[in-house]
């Protein structure tokens, strides 16, 4: 029997209201939902469904299961791997857009938890937590538009992982709608619960392929009242790894961020953002941006940071360092880090890698890769930076001077192969925080063992036997 | 075809050596393996298998799968819920004892990781980490005999969860042998890895029902160089919750433990351990034992702790407090906490509960439960203590004076029902850190929704279609 689009749309509209079922045939513009934000993927969708609550999600999932329609859960659609937009071919695909489900049900300062719907914008949650004297620590570039449900489905990372962990570490409870429309109520605010399999773990990081996350209870923390930022110059990455160890030993969990930035990355930022001040007296091949946070006053933390840095200077695990005297200076230091992506974009084509390795192996990895890249791709300019404290590097490779972005993008497969083979040989990850989606699906499969892929497929079949959830992603 | 015990034992002995397959029929004493340590469960086993390495585990699992023999993974056999001993009836059960697989493969101080075999004793790992200047933070009463594999399979908790999390939070990588003998190599030391489903999560806390954990890569931390312990008297649990918030705001992640102890619990300890000093000038209905740890010197941390406690006294969130002046005094304070279990044992029968709740609801829970218990079970003496910082209470109920332990144990079902119904009504957990095993299997099922149990069973069937792994536990 042929699929009857009009009948399906009419059923969906009867379930959640005509205004909330967008479709191309009646002239709705779906492009903001069907295209990933990097603009690399765009395929048509049967409809964009915008449910108001969990009950409507259940009704829509039952409809989808009955009619064999694939469902693509979508939050802010800010992901890097096109996990929340349609794939080419296959069965009809409906986008389940959760943005209307944006309520914050509860902020519980004594339990240090927030319970929110999946469509809540990350920044909104951070602001509401701050108003209650609490920190929700997840912080990333897209926080003004990404949604908590998407953050959970992709196990988002960001700049505070060193201290507070990834999104997985911040989730205490979930509400999930299964592919058959059944609601799984795991919405508990408990730090400890050993009653059977921890089912929420299955859905965190699964990129919407096992069910729809509709709400979550997440951890909050006491809002730090003091912050201190420093910027250091170093001779080598090995020195940066030693500095990390020395600073963590002295500052403990106050240590919140440890970002590596290559000399080339600093040069690039200063070229495209000429107002960027020269932070250190001379150019160093490597830099580190560090931040600590604590209760108490800024002055006490700044003194502790200064004492720790002085000791590190004496021990030879840092060459030169500047400590921000106030919040404004701290922001200037951070803007250097944040402008790297923009500068790379302005500079032309670049091939991105989001890799992780055991921290102890990063110096050897980088020292091995840089000459190999320069040899295999003459003129290629590696721009290395990232969350060294988490073992996560954004190991991007800018086009040789004069090579057009499109021509350089054609080398993506070859550059990826060189970098990712080296990562795999050192037991690292080819997608540390960005996930798999449709972008890295085939590449992921080539680096996993047959046993791993087999177990993933068994889990997928157990929870989604019809294969309705976000097909063509991850697996 | 009848099961041929002798042929099976001969096959097993051919695989891993005769000395390492213990069986009752040749006179081996299996009781240390077939009986749980609380002495409540004992059933015969076909054999106790003691493999030397992962390859031997694979060979044994293939034999078990071929012959339909159930396999019970066993570490130190120190669990509270009899998850690592045989169950009555059913197919032949072999205990897979991992104690010979006790190697520490690597301590990597720069990556802050250790890679160990499952049979490594927790205390051994803690000592080896300490020798490298690192802390492995899991700490619990049985650490001299429990094994890392068992700690992972039960997602162990203990006294440092407030700062470092449960065992799940400490595991970066796993090696698992699946029920069909396939090896799943997830042994990575990465803080970030978003390449598909995070398969290790499925096996952590599954109590050996989905596969055999054979090795793990776990997180280490810089070893704190300073510690400070305080003991406070309080009017109410509500005040204790306020104190927790006020101290965390000031001390941040330096705050490592926050243990609640009722006045009755202190009285009980002083009755059976008469050398216990009177720590505060008067008797308080509630107490809290607090510990902070940090880099730097003891004196600086002690001063920070003192300043924070003084502020709390002024704010009225604590009534009286004593701060240990040195390590010896700190140990004395901790021994009070550690002697509660022993004192309860010496005092006679008690019915144990290991519950968790949102911290904000604990005052209401305790204030509601205490009169209800006294009314329903006249003379019953609730002894309340536990990890308040994690929302986890050991809410134990001692027998009324003059009631024999055996007679009181007969009331277990009725007392459990009263306590656990109240926990469930407040969306808490009836097993915060002790797990399910065979002890709480039926009770867990009565508090889970049908949807949750259904998903658990689907996962079980997907990974263990023959039902070989630790039958009669959890599900």
pLDDT above 90 (res B179): yes
Query: Are A194 and B241 within 8 A, CB to CB?
Result: no
Query: Are B193 and A429 within 8 A, CB to CB?
Result: yes
pLDDT above 70 (res B258): yes
Query: Å from A343 to nearest chain B CA?
Result: 26
Mutation for testing the A interface, residue in B138, B154, B194, B308 having most A CBs under 10 Å: B194
Backbone angles phi, psi at B163, to 5 degrees: -95, -40
Q: Is residue B249 located within the same domain as residue B357?
A: yes
Q: Is residue B326 located within the same domain as residue B272?
A: yes
Query: Are A459 and B462 within 8 A, CB to CB?
Result: yes
pLDDT above 70 (res B272): yes
Q: Which residue of A has its CA nearest to B219?
A: A358
Examine residue A448 and state whether it is found in any structural domain, yes or no. no
Chain B residue numbers with beta carbons less than 8 Å from the beta carbon of A443 are none
Q: What is the pLDDT of residue A173?
A: 98
Q: Is residue A372 located within the same domain as residue A256?
A: yes
Examine residue A328 and state whether it is found in any structural domain, yes or no. yes
Query: Å from B297 to nearest chain A CA?
Result: 10
> Distance (Å, rounded) from C-alpha A90 to C-alpha A145?
30
> Distance (Å, rounded) from C-alpha A412 to C-alpha A352?
9
Cβ neighbors of A180 (< 8 A, separation 6 or more) are A61, A62, A65
Mutation for testing the A interface, residue in B114, B132, B173, B195 having most A CBs under 10 Å: B195
Chain B residue numbers with beta carbons less than 8 Å from the beta carbon of A249 are 133, 222, 295
Work out the pLDDT band at A133, boundaries 50, 70, 90. Answer: very high
pLDDT digits (tens, 9 = 90+) for A292-304: 999 888 998 999 9
| Sheet with B171-177, side-by-side order of all strands | B104-108, B113-117, B212-219, B171-177, B183-186
Q: Is residue B396 located within the same domain as residue B409?
A: yes
Q: What is the mean pLDDT of residues A174-191?
A: 98
The CATH code of the domain that includes B296 is 3.30.70.2190
Query: Are B188 and A448 within 8 A, CB to CB?
Result: no
Cβ neighbors of B428 (< 8 A, separation 6 or more) are A188, A190, B355, B356, B357, B358, B361, B365, B391
Query: Å from A11 to nearest chain B CA?
Result: 26
Query: Å from A219 to nearest chain B CA?
Result: 11
Q: Is residue A204 located within the same domain as residue A268?
A: no
Query: Are B249 and A440 within 8 A, CB to CB?
Result: no
The CATH code of the domain that includes A86 is 3.30.43.10
Q: What is the mean pLDDT of residues B361-372?
A: 96
Q: Is residue B180 located within the same domain as residue B132?
A: yes
Q: Where are the beta strands (DSSP E) in B112-244?
A: 113-117, 134-135, 171-177, 183-186, 212-219, 221-222, 226-234
The radius of gyration computed from the CA coordinates of chain A, to the nearest angstrom, equals 23
**Count of the separate structural domains present in chain B:** 2
Query: Are B110 and A241 within 8 A, CB to CB?
Result: yes
Query: Are A202 and B459 within 8 A, CB to CB?
Result: yes
Q: What is the mean pLDDT of residues A317-333?
A: 92
> Distance (Å, rounded) from C-alpha A312 to C-alpha A453?
45
Examine residue A436 and state whether it is found in any structural domain, yes or no. no
Q: Which residue of A has its CA nearest to B430?
A: A195
Q: Which domain holds residue B192?
A: 104-222
What ipTM was predicted for this assembly? Answer: 0.96
What angle (nearest 5°) sits at the alpha carbon of residue A314, between those of residues A309 and A316?
95
Examine residue B287 and state whether it is found in any structural domain, yes or no. yes
Q: Is residue A291 located within the same domain as residue A374?
A: yes
* Contact present, B409 and B416 (Cβ < 8 Å): no
Chain A residue numbers with beta carbons less than 8 Å from the beta carbon of B193 are 356, 429, 431-432
3-class secondary-structure state, position A363: helix
Q: Is residue B173 located within the same domain as residue B321?
A: no
Provide the pairing of β-strand A47-49 with A21-22. antiparallel
Show which of A205, A222, A239 is a domain's final residue.
A222
Q: Is residue B355 located within the same domain as residue B285?
A: yes
Show which of B160, B194, B222 is a domain's final residue.
B222
Work out the pLDDT band at B38, boundaries 50, 70, 90. Answer: confident
Work out the pLDDT band at A441, boundaries 50, 70, 90. Answer: very high
> Distance (Å, rounded) from C-alpha B291 to C-alpha A249?
19
* Cα dihedral sign, B337-B342-B347-B351: positive
DSSP string for residues in A225-237: SEEEEEEEEES-H
Q: Which residue of B has its CA nearest to A158?
A: B192
Work out the pLDDT band at A1, boundaries 50, 70, 90. Answer: low
Examine residue B42 and state whether it is found in any structural domain, yes or no. no
Mutation for testing the B interface, residue in A162, A196, A248 having most B CBs under 10 Å: A196
Work out the pLDDT band at B1, boundaries 50, 70, 90. Answer: low
Examine residue B385 and state whether it is found in any structural domain, yes or no. yes
Show which of B382, B401, B425 is a domain's final residue.
B425
Q: Identify the burial level of B144 via C-beta atoms within 10 angstroms of its C-beta, where 0-12 means exposed, 13-18 middle and 19 or more buried.
A: exposed
Q: Is residue A180 located within the same domain as residue A80?
A: no
Examine residue A368 and state whether it is found in any structural domain, yes or no. yes
pLDDT digits (tens, 9 = 90+) for B278-325: 889 999 999 999 999 998 889 989 999 999 999 999 999 999 999 998
> Distance (Å, rounded) from C-alpha B308 to C-alpha A203?
40
Q: Is residue B278 located within the same domain as residue B214?
A: no
Chain B residue numbers with beta carbons less than 8 Å from the beta carbon of A466 are none
Neighbours of A447 (CB within 10 A): 17
The CATH code of the domain that includes B181 is 3.30.465.10
Query: Å from B400 to nearest chain A CA?
Result: 30
Cβ neighbors of B70 (< 8 A, separation 6 or more) are B64, B90, B91, B92, B93, B94, B467, B468, B469, B470, B471
Examine residue A459 and state whether it is found in any structural domain, yes or no. no
Query: Å from A355 to nearest chain B CA?
Result: 8
Give the dihedral of Cα atoms B95, B96, B100, B105; nearest 10 deg: -150
Q: What is the pLDDT of residue A410?
A: 95
pLDDT digits (tens, 9 = 90+) for A218-276: 999 999 999 999 999 999 999 999 999 999 999 988 889 999 999 999 999 999 999 99
Q: Is residue B162 located within the same domain as residue B148?
A: yes
* Contact present, A216 and A187 (Cβ < 8 Å): yes
Which residue, A457, A87, A186, A227, is CA-closest to B197? A457
Mean pLDDT of chain A: 96
């Amino acid at each position: 029997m042929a699929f009857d689009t009009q009948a399906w749309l009419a059923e969906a509209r009867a379930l959640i209201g005509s205004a909330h079922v967008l479709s191309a045939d009646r002239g709705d513009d779906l492009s903001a939902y069907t295209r990933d934000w990097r603009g690399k993927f765009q395929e048509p969708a049967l409809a964009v469904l915008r449910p108001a609550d969990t009950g409507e999600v259940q009704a829509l999932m039952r409809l989808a299961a009955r009619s064999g329609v694939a469902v693509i859960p979508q939050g802010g659609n800010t992901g890097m791997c096109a996990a929340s937009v349609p794939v080419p071919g296959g069965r009809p695909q409906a986008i389940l857009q959760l943005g209307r489900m944006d309520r914050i049900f509860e902020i519980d300062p004594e339990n240090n938890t927030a319970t929110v719907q999946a469509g809540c914008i990350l920044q909104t949650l951070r602001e509401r937590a701050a108003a209650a004297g609490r920190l929700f620590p997840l912080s990333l570039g897209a926080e003004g538009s990404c949604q908590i449900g998407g953050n959970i489905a992709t196990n988002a990372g960001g700049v505070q992982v060193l201290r507070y962990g990834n999104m997985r570490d911040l989730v205490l409870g979930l509400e999930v709608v299964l592919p058959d429309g059944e609601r799984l109520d795991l919405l508990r605010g408990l730090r400890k619960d050993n009653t059977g399999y921890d089912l929420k773990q299955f859905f965190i990081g699964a990129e919407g392929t096992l069910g729809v996350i509709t709400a979550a209870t997440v951890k909050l923390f006491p809002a730090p009242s003091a912050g201190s930022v420093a910027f250091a110059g170093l001779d080598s990455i090995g020195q940066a790894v030693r500095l990390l160890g020395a600073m963590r030993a002295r500052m403990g969990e106050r240590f919140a961020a440890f970002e590596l930035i290559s000399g080339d990355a600093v040069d690039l930022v200063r070229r495209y953002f000429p107002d960027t001040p020269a932070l250190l007296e001379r150019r160093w091949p490597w830099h580190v941006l560090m931040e600590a946070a604590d209760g108490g006053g800024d002055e006490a933390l700044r003194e502790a940071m200064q004492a720790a840095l002085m000791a590190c200077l004496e021990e030879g695990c840092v060459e030169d360092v500047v400590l921000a005297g106030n919040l404004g200076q701290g922001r200037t230091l951070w803007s250097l880090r944040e402008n790297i992506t923009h500068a790379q974009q302005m500079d032309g084509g670049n091939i991105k890698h989001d890799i992780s390795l055991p921290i102890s192996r990063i110096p050897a990895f980088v020292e091995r890769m840089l000459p190999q890249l320069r040899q295999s791709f003459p003129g290629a300019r590696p721009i290395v930076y990232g969350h060294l404290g988490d073992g996560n590097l954004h190991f991007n490779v800018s086009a040789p001077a004069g090579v057009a972005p499109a021509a350089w993008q054609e080398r993506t497969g070859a550059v990826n192969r060189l970098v990712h083979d080296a990562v795999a040989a050192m037991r690292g990850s080819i997608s540390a925080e960005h996930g798999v989606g449709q972008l890295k699906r085939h590449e992921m499969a080539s680096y996993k063992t047959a046993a791993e892929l087999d177990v993933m497929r068994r889990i997928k079949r157990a929870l989604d036997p019809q294969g309705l959830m976000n097909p063509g992603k991850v697996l």
